């Protein structure tokens, strides 16, 4: 359970999610924040991770470090996605246990759920059907991390919790065309098209898949809120022997509608074309969030507001790269 004097290790503090968690911890006056950059600590190296934990007197771990990317990146680098994520989470979770860390939060992804499942997706849908092929290696790694937390709780009585967020976006995201997720990729495409006065922007896929999007600072707030819950209270919200809760907005929209929103926010005046030769991925991913809502958490930032904040950050940081 998170307390004001807890010594908190944030793995992946430089990434989009980790940066948002750092902002939330600072805003809410948690002073004892422990971080290491990749140059100082490679989380894929078991001995280095074990040494770090033995030296750091950690009370709480927030595991936000991961190799992430969109459909193209997952399709192109499947071995890297499964290997790096398996190594990072296995090393951190095991080192936490060995050094006596009782509280840990692992961040997964909604891609753990089957490609075809009832909407909105409940936590119990896990492992009830085949995964989306385009990101299966990443999903399998995240499922393994979730099950690792469950297994340590079951065998050793630890309090390792897991949140499964929907699609995330916000400051510090990756805005390259191919490796990025859909929102940063579209922001970059529409902004560059506006600057170059291009007649149209091409969006991958048919535009018909539906997606749910959560502003990253809302996820950060959810992380701290969940960690503050007493152990019994948190685990009452999960399935038996289960460590995970969904976190999202409860609302989704088509990729075509998302593209239109981003077109308007960036001020692009051309047309939108869809390339149906490119993969759509899962047709719909909308999470059931009643369990985390029962813990009195709600998202605060609307999609329109979040997109505006993200575009402003993009303009100030990376639009001329």
Binding-site residues, in ranges, read 12-18, 107-110, 142, 165-168, 181, 189, 204, 211, 280
Strands (E), the chain: 8-11, 33-34, 60-63, 103-107, 159-165, 167-169, 200-204, 210-211, 213-215, 244-247, 253-254, 271-275, 284-285
Give phi and psi for 157, each to the nearest 5.
75, 25
CA angle, 78 then 82 then 84, to 5°: 115
Question: Annotated binding residues for substrate, as ranges?
Answer: 189, 204, 211, 280
Q: Say if residues 266 and 315 touch (Cβ distance below 8 Å).
A: no
Q: Say if residues 135 and 71 touch (Cβ distance below 8 Å).
A: yes
Q: Say if residues 24 and 220 touch (Cβ distance below 8 Å).
A: yes
Give phi and psi for 5, each to the nearest 5.
-95, 10
Q: Say if residues 220 and 170 touch (Cβ distance below 8 Å).
A: no
Shortest CA distance to 263 belongs to which of 209, 189, 159? 189
Give the whole-angstrom CA distance, residue 180 versus residue 186: 9
Active site residue 138: yes
Q: Say if residues 98 and 50 touch (Cβ distance below 8 Å).
A: yes
Shortest CA distance to 61 belongs to which of 159, 143, 172, 168? 159
Question: Annotated binding residues for NADP(+), as ranges?
Answer: 12-18, 107-110, 142, 165-168, 181
Neighbours of 231 (CB within 10 A): 15
| Catalytic residue, candidates 138, 152, 169, 314 | 138
Q: Say if residues 100 and 42 touch (Cβ distance below 8 Å).
A: no
Enumerate the active-site residues.
Answer: 138
């Amino acid at each position: 359970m998170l307390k004001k004097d807890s010594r908190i290790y944030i793995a992946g503090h430089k990434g989009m999610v980790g940066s948002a968690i750092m902002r939330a911890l600072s805003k809410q006056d948690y002073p004892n924040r422990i971080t290491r950059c990749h140059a100082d600590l490679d989380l894929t190296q078991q001995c280095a991770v074990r040494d770090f934990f033995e030296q750091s007197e950690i009370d709480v771990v927030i595991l936000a470090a991961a190799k992430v990317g969109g459909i193209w990146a997952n399709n192109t680098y499947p071995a890297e996605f499964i290997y790096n994520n398996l190594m990072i989470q296995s090393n951190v979770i095991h080192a936490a246990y060995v050094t006596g860390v009782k509280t840990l939060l692992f961040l997964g992804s909604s891609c753990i759920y089957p490609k075809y499942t009832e909407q909105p997706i409940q936590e119990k849908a896990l492992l009830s059907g085949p995964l989306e092929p385009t990101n299966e290696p990443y999903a399998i790694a995240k499922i393994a991390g979730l099950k690792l937390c469950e297994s340590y709780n079951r065998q050793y009585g630890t309090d390792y919790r897991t949140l499964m967020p929907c699609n995330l976006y916000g400051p510090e995201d990756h805005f390259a065309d191919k490796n990025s997720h859909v929102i940063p990729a579209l922001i970059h495409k529409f902004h560059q098209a506006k600057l170059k006065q291009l007649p149209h922007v091409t969006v991958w896929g048919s535009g018909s898949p539906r997606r749910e999007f959560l502003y990253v600072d809302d996820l950060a707030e959810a992380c701290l809120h969940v960690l503050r819950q007493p152990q019994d209270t948190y685990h009452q919200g999960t399935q038996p022997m289960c460590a995970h809760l969904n976190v999202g907005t409860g609302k989704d929209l088509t990729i075509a509608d998302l593209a239109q929103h981003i077109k308007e926010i960036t001020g692009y005046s051309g047309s939108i074309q869809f390339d149906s030769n490119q993969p759509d991925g899962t047709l719909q991913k909308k999470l059931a969030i009643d369990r985390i809502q029962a813990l009195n958490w709600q998202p605060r930032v609307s999609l329109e507001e979040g997109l505006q904040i993200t575009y402003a950050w993009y303009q100030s940081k990376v639009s001329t790269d």
